[in-house]
Chains A and B, each alone.
Chain A
């Protein structure tokens, strides 16, 4: 019987002297440890809380100097912002969740979560979500980039979930001997030049910093009998999901990406792309989700069309048993419905209208109407009330939409053949994220994870 749901809050175990975490300042690893206890962790209540500062080059700890995006404050404008679809999560290079039992068994290690969330957030949320509940917890999130920038003109509070699969896929995690035996969360901050977007003269000296960081979560406490049961070492197991990341470069107009995922129950795979020179480039959005780009004199500004792609296992076409041809748009300038649907299916949101990607907005059709149904996008030609008009380009597929058991890639490789207009001289990075099921097995001897 549950006797209590108890709020807990912990500080990082490696708190710097002034409590400020920043990549530039050298304190870029944030570590939290949730101690073992005969309780259940309510995963959806686990939040990372803190304050975010975007600092101009003259900023100091005690006298911070913030940007003035869109000149909302008095004084001259100064542009410095983050990606509006990723938010604070874009500050992390890596999120690692480990069980404290058996010397810190890693449960999930998500690299470059920002590149994943820049695809999954718009796939799972519509404009009202971005401008409603999402920006309420993470003020950087917004449907339009200037709106997000305005929200970063001051020191702002955030309280965000860690959107790693293990915390999203299960409701509770046992923290006792009969389970994880405690949990460790490591957050590695990413480079300022990768997270920040700035074109000002001192752009190479701007930096972000995090303050007052805490991790809060609720624990379910039980009556003494149940508590003793949770604390008694015994054998058991439970399933959880985790994301894996791989990074590659595509350059030629016909490339086959061959990846050894090594996971038995692979649920979905998502690939997003970005010109290689835009990564760690403070002038560019490190989490853009634009199409393949060709470069001219080092500037990646020419779109290279994706003509066709084929996904498979060890060269055999599956789960999509046909070539996905995208070279020619459908007639009447209609959108590429087939590709959109495959991508949405990879996140199990194929039937949902609650995403930024729809067959209308993907094609630039204006959909905003006022209460009387009048079209309002053209009230002022220079201002749009639609979500930011920029592509969400990714290739994704659900590997097993039928049984949800997942495809076995332990005995074969994941293959992705891409035919595009890439010119062979323009390196485009491709981030591949695979979601797979794992099993955590615990026994009196310790815990282990099988894929």
Chain B
């Protein structure tokens, strides 16, 4: 990908930083409301992909101060429901389901990264499980990512808790490349683009009666659970990079050439569906149900597909940003281009996790008990399962039983790259097919919402300052 691009336009490549001039700007939104923010990016140099969007969110009920916290899996990323990156009227990238996607990305951050770096920026505490403080042999919220007041009580540090005040409040931030995945592949040469580059953010709304969309509460607020945004705090911290004249001229020459500058980057396409539940089975009874779903992907060069699924309920600690594991192992397979991906449908959750790591390219740093319910169930004793819960119910996080964190990272995948870091697979004129067998049981029979995040290659050509995109 992007073999012909100058190295300064590829974020992962280490470049000589001594010859770069970094211009930092705090950019106010040109248009802002409780639903939408719009930022116009300056035409200057190269836009650093690590530039950040800063937000603040507030509980409308002032009496709820001290009880609010952000979802443990994704923190402030949940505040963005949709983001669009445009050059003029041309859409370069659209990011949907940013909270869920950030939850997927954070699964491969190490525990210390989540507690020492991510928490400071996105405000998500309680993101790791570790040895319980109250019972040797069980798990609880890791001591490194929360404040412990006793062996049985811990909470989000005060400095990360949303409050009612819009002036004396914590600010959260998320980097542009975490919002737009394509910016992990390329640095945007905004100084060479004729048309105005803009970022439009649609903000997640949580109205009275709802929780878990923008924040959660350790005790239900007396008047309202609604939240709002501190619009005066919503800015972008941007870094514009300007390299030495030779480097910038080389970029300019390529942009102004007949061929222009083709830039290949990743984009996500989300297909949502449902897996209908059944009537609750009797104790000890299971029911197998087969599902087939089409995943929108025909005509695309697909790198991978990542799947999340959850019940249509709110988790007391992770809100709606999670992927619920089934109690009985599912088995699944994929079909594309007349190919069956696995010789036999895979059923082993540890193997599913290994398959996901091929996509994520890093080890998935969450406990087995957070990925699946494999450790929990002795089906030879009872098909209802869940006899062996390894999470300590006595060590409360934000007053909630941490057992709700079990099986919140059941993320599955399909890897279609050719070799590590290689090109994706061109999907012909028929969508990828997802085939699955679910085993419903007494405590796991409800309808599931399932999302397929298709990562595909997209190209835009920058020629004489004009941006042309592929599909």
User: Which of B341, B364, B380 has the most C-beta atoms of chain A within 10 angstroms of its own C-beta?
Assistant: B380
One of B24-32, B137-145, B188-196, B248-256 contacting the partner: B137-145
Query: B209 contacts the other chain (Cβ, under 8 Å)?
Result: no
Annotate A199-235 by CB proximity to B: 1 below 8 A, 0 otherwise.
0000000000000100010101000000000000000
One of B78-86, B366-374, B434-442, B446-454 contacting the partner: B366-374
User: CA A72 – CA B386 in complex, angstroms?
Assistant: 11
User: CA A444 – CA B389 in complex, angstroms?
Assistant: 57
Structural contact, B133 and A220, CB atoms closer than 8 A: no
Which of A7, A70, A171 sits near B341, CB closer than 8 Å? A7
Structural contact, A150 and B137, CB atoms closer than 8 A: yes
Structural contact, A47 and B354, CB atoms closer than 8 A: yes
Structural contact, B375 and A137, CB atoms closer than 8 A: no
Which A residues touch B112, using CB under 8 A?
128
Annotate A34-62 by CB proximity to B: 1 below 8 A, 0 otherwise.
00000000100101011100000000000
Query: A138 contacts the other chain (Cβ, under 8 Å)?
Result: yes
Query: B91 contacts the other chain (Cβ, under 8 Å)?
Result: no
Which B residues touch A384, using CB under 8 A?
131, 136
Q: Which chain A residue shows the least CB distance to B376?
A: A154
Structural contact, A151 and B110, CB atoms closer than 8 A: no
- Which secondary structure characterizes the binding site on chain A? mixed
Which of B110, B147, B390 sits near A372, CB closer than 8 Å? B147
Query: A69 contacts the other chain (Cβ, under 8 Å)?
Result: yes
Residues of chain B at interface, number, CB under 8 A? 67
Structural contact, B366 and A132, CB atoms closer than 8 A: yes
Rounded to whole Å, the gap between the CB of B385 and the closest CB of chain A is 9
Which A residues touch B354, using CB under 8 A?
47, 137, 159
Which A residues touch B380, using CB under 8 A?
63-64, 66, 155
Q: Which chain B residue shows the least CB distance to A51?
A: B348
The count of A-to-B residue pairs whose CB atoms sit within 8 angstroms is: 195
Annotate B386-399 by CB proximity to A: 1 below 8 A, 0 otherwise.
01111000000000
Query: B187 contacts the other chain (Cβ, under 8 Å)?
Result: no
Annotate A119-145 by CB proximity to B: 1 below 8 A, 0 otherwise.
000000001110111011111000110
Which B residues touch A7, using CB under 8 A?
341-343
Structural contact, B134 and A371, CB atoms closer than 8 A: no
Query: A379 contacts the other chain (Cβ, under 8 Å)?
Result: yes
Rounded to whole Å, the gap between the CB of A380 and the closest CB of chain B is 4
Structural contact, B374 and A380, CB atoms closer than 8 A: no
User: Which of B125, B135, B136, B151 has the most C-beta atoms of chain A within 10 angstroms of its own C-beta?
Assistant: B136
* Contact A147 to B390, CB < 8 A, known contacts A131-B131, A220-B419, A385-B130: yes
Which of B157, B348, B375 sits near A151, CB closer than 8 Å? B375
User: CA A151 – CA B367 in complex, angstroms?
Assistant: 11
* Contact A383 to B351, CB < 8 A, known contacts A136-B367, A370-B143: no
User: CA A188 – CA B338 in complex, angstroms?
Assistant: 39
Structural contact, B388 and A146, CB atoms closer than 8 A: no
Which of B133, B344, B368 sits near A135, CB closer than 8 Å? B368
Query: B301 contacts the other chain (Cβ, under 8 Å)?
Result: no
Query: B378 contacts the other chain (Cβ, under 8 Å)?
Result: yes
CB contacts under 8 Å to B, within A149-181, are 149-151, 153-160, 171
Structural contact, B365 and A156, CB atoms closer than 8 A: no
User: CA A369 – CA B363 in complex, angstroms?
Assistant: 24
Rounded to whole Å, the gap between the CB of B16 and the closest CB of chain A is 24
Q: Which chain A residue shows the least CB distance to B414?
A: A7
Structural contact, B348 and A369, CB atoms closer than 8 A: no
* Contact A159 to B137, CB < 8 A, known contacts A133-B364, A370-B148: no
Q: Which chain A residue shows the least CB distance to B116?
A: A371
Rounded to whole Å, the gap between the CB of A79 and the closest CB of chain B is 11
User: Which of B157, B348, B388 has the most C-beta atoms of chain A within 10 angstroms of its own C-beta?
Assistant: B388
Structural contact, A154 and B137, CB atoms closer than 8 A: no
Residues of chain A at interface, number, CB under 8 A? 66
Structural contact, A2 and B368, CB atoms closer than 8 A: no
Structural contact, B418 and A147, CB atoms closer than 8 A: no
Rounded to whole Å, the gap between the CB of A299 and the closest CB of chain B is 25
Which A residues touch B150, using CB under 8 A?
379
Structural contact, B351 and A157, CB atoms closer than 8 A: yes
Q: Which chain B residue shows the least CB distance to A50?
A: B348
* Contact A135 to B418, CB < 8 A, known contacts A49-B348, A73-B387: no
* Contact A369 to B144, CB < 8 A, known contacts A147-B131, A147-B139, A380-B134: yes
CB contacts under 8 Å to B, within A265-287, are none
Structural contact, B137 and A146, CB atoms closer than 8 A: yes
Q: Which chain B residue shows the least CB distance to A172?
A: B419
Rounded to whole Å, the gap between the CB of A302 and the closest CB of chain B is 26
Structural contact, B154 and A370, CB atoms closer than 8 A: yes
User: CA A139 – CA B417 in complex, angstroms?
Assistant: 29
User: CA A7 – CA B366 in complex, angstroms?
Assistant: 24
Query: B51 contacts the other chain (Cβ, under 8 Å)?
Result: no
Structural contact, B111 and A383, CB atoms closer than 8 A: no
Which B residues touch A386, using CB under 8 A?
131
Query: A8 contacts the other chain (Cβ, under 8 Å)?
Result: yes
User: CA A131 – CA B354 in complex, angstroms?
Assistant: 16
Which A residues touch B134, using CB under 8 A?
380, 383
Which B residues touch A218, using CB under 8 A?
358
Structural contact, B148 and A374, CB atoms closer than 8 A: yes
Rounded to whole Å, the gap between the CB of A182 and the closest CB of chain B is 18
* Contact A132 to B119, CB < 8 A, known contacts A74-B387, A127-B130, A376-B133: no
Structural contact, B350 and A159, CB atoms closer than 8 A: yes
Q: Which chain A residue shows the least CB distance to B110?
A: A128
CB contacts under 8 Å to A, within B188-209, are none
* Contact A383 to B388, CB < 8 A, known contacts A49-B351, A132-B367: no
Rounded to whole Å, the gap between the CB of B465 and the closest CB of chain A is 35
Top 5 nearest A-B pairs by Cβ distance?
A146-B137, A128-B111, A133-B363, A159-B350, A380-B151
20 contacts between A and B (CB under 8 A): A4-B425, A5-B415, A5-B422, A42-B419, A49-B348, A66-B380, A72-B137, A127-B130, A132-B364, A132-B367, A136-B353, A147-B139, A158-B350, A159-B348, A159-B351, A160-B350, A371-B147, A372-B157, A380-B133, A380-B134
Given A72-B388, A136-B364, A138-B350, 9 new contacts (CB under 8 A) = A49-B348, A51-B348, A137-B350, A146-B137, A154-B375, A154-B376, A154-B387, A159-B351, A383-B134
- Residues of A at the B interface (CB closer than 8 Å) are 2-5, 7-9, 42, 45, 47, 49-51, 63-64, 66, 69-70, 72-74, 127-129, 131-133, 135-139, 143-144, 146-147, 149-151, 153-160, 171, 212, 216, 218, 220, 368-372, 374, 376, 379-380, 382-386
